[in-house]
Amino acid sequence: MNILDNIVADKRNEVDLRKSLIPVSQLEQSVLFERKTTSLAHKLRNSTSGIIAEHKRRSPSKSTINQNLNVQDVARGYEEAGVCGMSVLTDLKYFGGALDDLLLARASCNLPLLRKEFIIDEYQILEAKAYGADVILLIAAILTRAEIKQFSEFAKSLQLDVLLEVHNEEELHKSIMPSLDMLGVNNRNLKTFDVSLDISKTLSEIIPNEFVKVSESGISNIEAIKELQPFGFQGFLIGENFMKTDNPGESAKQFINELNH
């Protein structure tokens, strides 16, 4: 069992429990369910920086990153910094996140919000919509082609953007379909936690251009972005780099200023 298998096993139990507590009809009655979503893919295509900044308290590879900040301040700081979107981790057990973080971020900013979660059930996509997300993440490593199709089409029916994350060529080939907006390449090997930008570079050549290319993990400096832009990447997911500081918004602002000059 690798970490991903453990997370998915726990997630199935968690989702079953949530389903038993909160019926679908209740999610659909949420005041945010009717909200018009904002496309992250569209913003990334028209941006010079392409930064998706993350709210992340801890992770299995880094344990604690930052437990002291409140989500509202982080969301407002990121918006002020001029990021394209905000990724909000909602997994509690491994990342210290919560669905309420999504709600608080939504109340604090107008950025497109990505629900960063291990999605294994349509119910979680309804939750994302009900809690104010604009985008969902699907992880190819934990889903079959049929599930990717089912979940992405369901998300599109709710006007949500879909970011699909891959780690290798095999995952990429099984995943490409019209119901995706963005293809994310995770530079971290989820079995070993090693990080290499070469994964993004290699896969960039086989990602069709109709998808926005997003590079995730291991992007901690301007050089990494400048290195990846020639490979067609328009989105860059940055979590720990901003979150490990006392003021993630200010860090993001400095980073984007530097990048654009």
Residues involved in catalysis: 54, 56, 116, 165, 186, 216-217
Partners of 237 in the beta sheet? 52, 216
Strands (DSSP E) found in 37-128: 51-55, 58-59, 63-64, 85-89, 113-116
With contact defined as beta carbons under 8 Å apart, do 204 and 212 qualify? no
CA distance 59 to 243: 12
| Phi, psi of 237, deg, nearest 5 | -90, 120
- 104: nearest Cα among 88, 118, 91: 88
Partners of 89 in the beta sheet? 116
With contact defined as beta carbons under 8 Å apart, do 238 and 52 qualify? yes
Buried-exposed string 165-196: b where 16+ CB fall within 10 A, e elsewhere: bbbeeebbeebbeebbbbbbbbbbebeeeebe
List Cα–Cα distances, 233 to 99, 134, 203, 221, in angstroms.
29, 21, 11, 15
With contact defined as beta carbons under 8 Å apart, do 150 and 122 qualify? yes
Residue whose tokens read 């945010």? 32
List Cα–Cα distances, 85 to 38, 59, 161, 205, in angstroms.
10, 20, 12, 25
